[in-house]
Chain A
Amino acid sequence: MNSKPTALRTLDIISLILLVIATYLALVFAPTEKVMGEVQRVFYFHVGAAWVGLLGFIGAGVTGIIYLKTQNLKWDLVEQAAVEISLVFFFIAIVLGSIWARPIWNTWWTWDPRLTSASIVELIYLAYLMLRQGIDDPDRRARFGAVYTLVGAISVPITFLSIRMFRTIHPVVIGSKSAAADGGFSMTGDMKIAFFFALFTFTVIFIDLFWNRIRLGQLEQKVEQLKLKVME
């Protein structure tokens, strides 16, 4: 328990190596997009980061339900880890997206469903962290956190839908042909390699961070217990 398990250490190294390769693929290997030019290369990591944010978002909602069912504090740790990872990666996705949007859409920001939903997830998770900070009792903290992630997990898709009822300009790169006008494009073979490799890399990084964060949470709990013991 005390020293880092070898499997996790290996995964750390693997994700680092994968990240280097993915960077190479995105920045050098993939061909330059004809219309947008070099800035399109942001796309590979942007989608990867958004994907990890989404994984964390779904993970947090599901573990929230599991916690309410089982009342086992272990699931609270998992939920908190998912929330924190999702918070960071949605932020990365938003920043990368803005860098791309500035030359392509001619604006840093627009109130499109994806952008708005991602930023609302950020706000919900910030509120979640503030909520947890305001409660001392661990059981109550876990219960409130689970209830709030559940409420968030259901309200965000509805938000997404409701903004979608306006028109959207966000390109749908995969599975759409009419998006070219808004900065969409079709990927060539090499682009696809870079894209799917980036997705794979970010998934591995997600698992690695998730594992590390859960382990950190367990250590935190142990420290808290030891502290209580000393005080007695």
Chain B
Amino acid sequence: MKKEKKKSNYLRAIGAVAWKDLAAELRSRELLSGMLVFSLLVILIFNFALELDAKTRTSVTAGVIWVTFVFAGTLGLNRSMAIEKDRGCLDGLLLAPVDRSAIYFGKAISNLAFMFIVEIIILPTYSFLYNINLFQPGLLLVILLGSIGYTAVGTLLSAMSVQTRTRDVMLPILLFPVIVPVLIAAVKASGGYLQNLPLDQILPWINLLIVYDVIFIAISFMVFDYVVEE
């Protein structure tokens, strides 16, 4: 009975941290609007940089949408941790009598929610602009798995980068080399769905994404304490 209560407390702490971020964001809409406009601009730039005509589109769409998500994602990750640090909220959170990993999971969930909102708006926009149907269940699964892996590592590393002197520059430099596997697997799997490849050619990449997600959620869970320790 007691153990069950402890568990529900932990989950409630996670929910509280995530809800706090979402509520703050719903009122200010600073972060989401920034991420959204930024990702629309990235797509616009890609349109001219790559000349996305009908022929190139089929082969590069997966790459373009993932680069857009990754870039917009760093913007969001940076901002969501910087807010905590600047106004001393992080110290307040750390004083709360909950396990520190609950803070990590709360932050990760709110970051993931922001990514999803951006993705939900970018996908139809892209489909509309380039006449490609991006709403396939398989593709959405890949985007889900890829975003989870990305935010799992990103939340951990952004908690580190905001505590350094050159923080805005630091996050992408730390994050990009370690998310290469996510990017490769996500681009390959999304490309596979867009080109209607048979499932047995896509499945290995989805497995890779799942393995990456599990490993890095576990690692972040274990080391987050060391990152926020004073």
Contact = CB atoms under 8 A, between A and B. Distances in A.
Contacts, number: 86
Interface stretch (A23-31, A126-134, A194-202, A222-230): A126-134
B177 A127 contact: yes
Interface in B136-178: 153, 156-157, 160-161, 163-167, 170, 173-174, 176-178
Contact of A162 (B156, B181, B215): B181
Given A150-B223, A151-B219, A131 B165 contact: no
A155 B156 CA distance: 14
Contact of B181 (A68, A127, A130, A155): A155
Given A150-B219, A162-B181, A135 B164 contact: yes
Interface in A112-149: 120, 123-124, 126-127, 130-131, 134-136, 140, 143-144, 146-148
Contacts of B178: 124, 151-152, 155
A165 interface: yes
A158 interface: yes
B90 interface: no
A66 interface: no
Interface stretch (B104-112, B123-131, B204-212): B204-212
Most chain-A Cβ atoms within 10 A of its Cβ — which of B170, B181, B204, B229?
Answer: B181
Interface residues of A, number: 28
Contact of A147 (B164, B205, B215, B223): B223
A124 B157 CA distance: 13
Contacts of A158: 181, 208, 211-212, 215
Nearest to A132: B164
B226 interface: yes
A112 B197 CA distance: 23
B82 interface: no
B227 interface: yes
A159 B181 contact: yes
Contacts of A146: 226
Contact of B226 (A136, A147, A154): A147
B178 to A, nearest CB: 4
B184 interface: yes
A120 B177 contact: yes
Given A151-B156, A154-B215, A165-B205, 18 more contacts: A68-B223, A127-B173, A130-B166, A131-B161, A134-B167, A144-B163, A147-B156, A151-B178, A151-B216, A155-B178, A155-B180, A155-B216, A158-B208, A159-B184, A161-B208, A162-B181, A162-B184, A165-B188
22 contacts: A68-B223, A68-B226, A123-B176, A123-B177, A127-B177, A134-B165, A135-B165, A136-B165, A144-B164, A146-B226, A147-B226, A148-B157, A148-B160, A150-B219, A151-B153, A151-B156, A151-B216, A152-B178, A155-B177, A162-B185, A165-B204, A165-B208
